[in-house]
Chains A and B, each alone.
Chain A
């Protein structure tokens, strides 16, 4: 006999389903008057520090068809590389930047869009600097457990080359699935759920 650990099991995930918008973006789907604004709809204001960027893209299924009912959340550091979180021990993040945003893909086109800022570099566990990146979390009908991935920036080749996370991707041909091509301050990040160009997803 040994002592029991006394740990619990994490509640099992279930799909967000096709009507995730009712709960997470009610104004977007026409349920007005309950909340003033949808949570996570605006990430920047006039006082937010950093370079303004726009990220757009689509989430595509195994046939290349865009999902019109997906919901994406992003989490990122501020321009100085600090997270707006109680677990951030290195200093205080920009008070005018929550670091978190939420966007449903368009019901007609499947496009999502975030207006945010380019994040600063954040240290990896061993102190090496990671390249600027944004964590993405994708839920939708047909996705049983939310998918985590990262978006890196196409115009940060030098930083990407020394990023300790990208370096762990065994199949080098898959690295570009995490790198969003730059067009000025616009980045396009398409997420392929399955197949030939499948995005690298993380168990984090």
Chain B
């Protein structure tokens, strides 16, 4: 088996301007944040980002790297909306394609199957069809029903983060939810997999069931070992979301001066610098919020993900 391990810098230099980039995980859960931070350190721009979005989308929007955003939602889970996403929408800074979450998943499945579309009931009668005038319907050849023909969300590159992988790109999740990372891997021409730890192939199923092997090396181009590489999103069971740091991020995002300070503190160096700065934030007793009170999103207002879904549910 070929050794596909690479550095964050190797990964970042492999992403072309104008690429369509799918980002795995969900909201503020197991996002490939170290890969996103590596992209922030390049001059790559004009990206189309396809994501069930969280701070991955927020950071790329804030850095001016996104031309078009294709999403089912953009949420920080415990905070209802990513402030950078909200600002991008309210200022008209990015083109958007907003889909029902089930439609989005149908688009991933279509792309993974190399189909041009898949039929779905979701979207019929709603303004999703108004907001995406390119959407077409398809008539059933068997009865009088007509469905939304959800187009394939095909990508140039997929970025995913898993708990473990081997050097050849066999990837493993150890938490309760695979999200859709296997579909992203199959829906893209190239997939870059970051993981908490690269282990020998034989170790993958030593303490975990074979069902945890989510992604096969067939669909993986490069493997990057990035401990804490999903920070500040959750990567259960390795670590939970860093709520204090996420509050710091969201608070800073609401104010240009505070955001510049956040960038200076956390996003100016390499990944090692980032980890050191985060450790410093916690050593200084950081509780988050960038000094802005009441920065936590209102919970339970709408059909939110886990923050709102814990009392209620995570999604529509």
Are A and B associated in one complex?
A: no
Task: Give me the interface of B with A, judged by CB distance under 8 Å.
Answer: none
User: What residues make up the interface of A, taking CB atoms closer than 8 Å to B?
Assistant: none
